[in-house]
Structure 1
Amino acid sequence: MQVLQVQLEVGADPAEVGRARRWARSRLAGSGIEPDEPMAETLILLVSELVTNAVVHTGRPAVLRMVLPGVQEACPGTVRVEVADSCARPPAPRHAAGEETNGRGLELVDGLADRWGWRPEGAGKAIWCEIDRCAAAATDGVAAYDGVAFEAV
C-alpha cells in the first residue's frame, strides 16, 4: 500500500485557516480525490475545524498533517487529517445551545469522521480524524449521520 504524508505549518493567525483549506484541497486533488467528490468537501470541513480549534483555542502555531492513500489502488483506503499544537490541554468537546456561534467544532468532527481522537505529542497534543474512502465511495454520494441521510448535490 502506497501512502503519502504531507504537512503544513500554520501560523497562530485565524486567517491561516483559509490557507490551510486551500493547501489541503490541492493535496487531495494530487492524491486522486476529485474536488467534486463528497468526501473532498467533508475532508476540507474537517481540516477547517481542526485548524480553527488549534489556532483559536491555543493562540499558537500548529502543524497540519494529512496521510493520503495511493491512487493506484482499487479501494484507496483511509485519509487521515491531524493537527498538532504546542498546548498540552486536552480538547474539550462542547454542546452549543441554541444561537451560540461557537462550540460545534468537535461535534462536527465526531459526526463527519469515521474515527477521531487525540494523543499527547511532545509538549503539546495532536488531534486526528480519519475517513475510510472505500466506505465513503460505497455510499455513492449519500452519507448518513445519526440515522439521517444527506446527499451531496
Structure 2
Amino acid sequence: MQVLQVQLEIRPDPAEVGRARRWARSRLAVSGIQADEPLAETLILLVSELVTNAVVHTGRPAVLRLSLPGAEAPEEAIVRLEVADRSGRAPVPRCVDGEATGGRGLALVDGLADRWGWSAEGVGKRIWCELDRCARPSGVTGACSEGTGAYGGLAYEAV
C-alpha cells in the first residue's frame, strides 16, 4: 500500500492554526478520505489542537506532517499526524475547571486518537497521534483488528 507523506511549515502565529486546518482538509481527498467521514472531522480537530499547542506554548516555528493512505488503500489503514517543534519542553496534560477557556487540548487528543505520544527530537520534540481508518458498521466504535496498517512504498510532498 502506498502512503502519502506531506508536511507544512508552521510559523509561530495563531493564524497558522486555521491555515493548517485548511491545508489538512485539502490533503484528505487525495487519500480517498471524504470530508464528511468521521475520521476527517476527527483528524482536523486533532490538527487544530496540536498546532495550537505548538504555536501558543512554544512561540517557535513547527512542522505539521501527515501520513495518509493512498486513494487505492484499503478501508483499514492508519492515518498519522505529527507536529514537531523546537521547544524541548515536554507536553503536559493539565487538569482544568469548567470555567477555563483552555488547557483541554491533550485531553482531547487522548480521547480522540487511537494512539498518541511524544518523543524528544534534537533540541525540540515531536508529538504524534494515529487514527485507525476501519471498515466498521455505522455507529460502531472501537479499534480495528490487529495487523492493519502495514506500509509499503512511500510518496512525498513538502510544502
* Closer, same or farther: CA 139–82 of 1 in aligned 2, 3 Å: farther
Deviation sequence 1:91-149 (CA, Å, 0-9, x none): 01112211111110000000000000001112100000000101xx41525547xxxxx
Match of 1:77 in 2: 77
Q: Does structure 2 retain, via aligned residues, the 8 Å contact 1:25–1:44? A: yes
Q: Distance in 1 between matches of 2:111 and 2:57?
A: 21
For the pair 1:29 / 2:29, whether they are aligned, the reply is: yes
Secondary structure, counterpart of 2:57 in structure 1 = helix
For the pair 1:42 / 2:42, whether they are aligned, the reply is: yes
Q: Distance in 2 between matches of 1:73 and 1:49?
A: 27
Q: Does structure 2 retain, via aligned residues, the 8 Å contact 1:86–1:123? A: yes
Off by >3 Å, runs of 4+ in structure 1: 141-144
**Identical-residue share of aligned pairs (%):** 73
Gaps of 5+ in 2: 143-159
Q: Does structure 2 retain, via aligned residues, the 8 Å contact 1:66–1:79? A: yes
Q: Distance in 2 between matches of 1:74 and 1:86?
A: 35
Does 1 or 2 have the higher relative contact order (CA < 8 Å, sep 6+)? Answer: 2
Quick check: which one's helix share is greater? 1
For the pair 1:20 / 2:10, whether they are aligned, the reply is: no
Whichever residue aligns with residue 103 of structure 2, its letter is G
Whichever residue aligns with residue 29 of structure 2, its letter is A
Counterpart mapping for 1:59-70 below 5 A: 59-70=59-70
Cα distance, 1:69 vs. partner? Answer: 1.0
